[in-house]
Amino acid sequence: MKSCHRIIVLTSLLFVQATVFSDEFPFDFEDKIYQETVQTVVLYPEDDPLSYPLIQLHEPELLQLKFDVLGDMAYVYQYTIVHCTFDWKPSNLRAIEYIEGFEDDRILDYRFSLNTLTPYVHYDFKFPTSYLKPILSGNYLLVVYDGQLTSETVLFTKRFMVSDPVVGIQASIPQHPRNPAYTNTAQQLDVEIHAAGFFTGKPMQAFQLVMMQNSRWDNIKSGLRPSHTYTDKLTYEYMDETVFEAANQWRNFDMKSFKYQSERIERIFVEPEYYTVRLWADQSRIRKAHLSEPDLFGRKLIQARHDQDTDIEGDYAWVEFFLNYEAPLTHGEIYVIGALNDGLINRTNRMAYNYKLKGYQLSLFLKQGYYNYLYAIREPEQSFASTELTEGNHWDTQNEYLILFYYNQPGTAYDQLIGHKIIFSH
C-alpha cells in the first residue's frame, strides 16, 4: 500500500514539474518564508544547531529541519529538493539526475505546543532518507509545501549544501590588506586551493570560489576566479574582491526564560496571547573602543529553560529593538541583521524612525532562545548592509568565514562542490 502511494505521489509531482517548472519555478532561490503562520525555520547538521547546513556526499550524515506553524491544526506537508548552481540559480538538471528515490517525501513528525500563550504545531524531521536522497554534490534548495507544488502552497524554502571534497583549502587573513584604504577596518581573505595534478588541462573558468561571512547572504563574495594558476594549486589574492567589513562583536540578548530579565532585557510584558520583550535601548558604537567578547557569529540558538521541552514548550514574544539616533537617515535604511532574520536584508528586519523618541525601532516575533544581532545600513544602490556608521569596523573582530569551491566539469550541466573550509579571523 505504501509503495502504491509513493507511485501516485511521484506521478503527481512529475505532472506539476511538467506544467509549472517548464516555464519558471513557483518560488525564489533563497531562504524565504511564504506563509505568515510559519515561524522559526532552522536547518542544520544533526544535533549541531550552530553549524552550517552542509553535509558530505556518500557519508552517513543527516540534516535536521525544524519549524513551527502557528495555530492548533496539524497537516502533513511535502518537501522536495532542487539542485542549484554555485550562485543559487536552478541547475540544468532533471530531478532524476540528482535524486535517488522519489522526487518528494512527506513530513510526518509533528507535535502540538504545550502550556504556551501562542499555540503552534512543531515539525521535526531528518533527511536524506531512503525515499529521497541527493546523489550529486553542490547547492540545493529545500522546498516545503502543502499538497501540490504551486506558488500558493509553498510554505518556505531553505538552502543547504552537499560537499564532495577532493581538494584542500588553505586561507589566511593578513593584518594589512593590500589596499591601504582598508587598514584597521576590514578583513581580507587570501585563499589557496591544493590538488596535485587536478588542475592540469582544465579551463580556469570552470572553477568558482565563494566566501561567506558569519552566515550573511547580503555581503557574500561569489564567482571569484583564480588570480594565479599552478600545476598543483590555484591562488586567490586580490586587491578588493576578497575584502569584508570587519564589523564588531555581535550584540546579544538571552530570552531563554520569561521568568526573569536577563542583562539586555529591560522589561517583559505578559499579553493575553503572547509575550512582549523590550530590550534596553542601544547606542551606536562607531566611536567606542573595540571590546572582544565571545559571540555566536550572528547565529541564534533556540532554547527554553532547562526544565522545558524547547520544541513544544518554548513560547513566542514580540521583541522590541531600539537604536538611539539623533535624526533619521536621508539616504538609506537601518536593519537589524543576523540569523534572527536568516541572514537576509528585507522589510521584515527594516527599522522605522520614531521622531518622538529620536531613534529607530523594530519588533520581531521570535521564539525563546539566545540571539545575536547587529545594526547595519543599506543604501539604495547597495546590495549589502554596512556596519560602518552603526557598529564601527575593527580588524580585531573575531569573524567566521565559510569558503566553498566549485567545479563545473566540461560536458556536465552542474556545479560540483568539491571543497569547503571554515576559518576564523583570529
User: Looking at the structure, do residues 33 and 139 belong to the same domain, yes or no?
Assistant: yes
The model's pLDDT over 373-420, given as tens digits with 9 standing for 90+, comes to: 999 999 998 989 999 999 999 999 999 999 999 999 988 989 999 999
Region of 71 (left: φ > 0; alpha: ψ -120 to 50; beta: rest) is left
Reduced to 3 states, what is the DSSP secondary structure of residue 185? Answer: coil
Residues 281 and 227 in one domain: no
Determine the pLDDT at residue 16: 40
Q: Please tell me which residue, 201 or 367, carries the higher pLDDT value.
A: 367
pLDDT of 4 reads 42
Backbone angle region of 81, left / alpha / beta, with phi > 0 → left and psi within -120 to 50 → alpha: beta
pLDDT computed for residue 200 by the predictor: 85
Say if residue 213's pLDDT is above 60.
Answer: yes
Q: Give pLDDT, residue 292.
A: 87
Q: What is the pLDDT of residue 335?
A: 98
Residue 411: per-residue pLDDT:
87
Domain count across the chain: 3
Domain housing 194: 168-246+403-424
Residues 100 and 156 in one domain: yes
Q: Express each pLDDT in 245-288 by its tens digit.
A: 999 999 999 999 999 899 999 999 999 889 999 999 999 999 89
Return d(Cα 59, Cα 164) in angstroms, integer.
Answer: 10
- Which of 163, 178, 209 is a domain's end point? 163
CATH of the domain at 371: 2.60.40
Return the minimum-mean-pLDDT range out of 162-166, 222-226, 394-398, 417-421. 222-226
Residues 13 and 146 in one domain: yes
d(CA 379, CA 216): 17
Over range 202-207, report the average pLDDT: 90
Asked if 7 and 153 sit in the same domain, the reply is yes
Q: Are residues 9 and 141 in the same domain?
A: yes
Region 45-71 average pLDDT: 96
Contact in structure between 424 and 258 (CB atoms under 8 Å): no
Give the whole-number percent of the chain exceeding pLDDT 70. Answer: 95
User: pTM for this structure?
Assistant: 0.92
- Note whether 29 and 122 are same-domain residues: yes
DSSP line for 277-333: EEEPPB---TTS--------TT-EEE---TTS-HHHH--EEEEEEEEE-SS--SS-E
Q: Tell me how far apart the alpha carbons of residues 121 and 174 are, in angstroms, rounded to a whole number.
A: 48
According to the model, what pLDDT value does residue 13 have? 43
Q: What is the CATH number for 133?
A: 2.60.40.10
Which residues sit opposite 420 in a β-bridge? 404
Residue 117 shares a structural domain with residue 174: no
Instruction: Tell whether the model's pLDDT for residue 14 goes beyond 80.
Output: no
3-class state of residue 244 by DSSP: strand
- Give the pLDDT score at 112: 98
Q: What is the torsion angle, in degrees rounded to the nearest 10, for the CA atoms of residue 141, residue 146, residue 150 and residue 155? A: -50
One domain, residues 9 and 155: yes
pLDDT tens, residue by residue, 104-139: 999 999 999 999 999 999 999 999 999 999 999 999
- Look at residue 102 and tell me if it is in a domain: yes
Give which of 376, 377, 393 is closest to 185, Cα–Cα: 393
Same-domain check for residues 295 and 416 = no
Which whole number is the average pLDDT over 340-366? Answer: 96
Q: Which three cell numbers stand for residue 372?
A: 545575536
The C-alpha cell 575584502 sits at: 243
Q: What is the pLDDT of residue 413?
A: 87
The secondary structure element, H or E, covering residue 372 is: strand 369-378
Over residues 56-81, the mean pLDDT reads 96
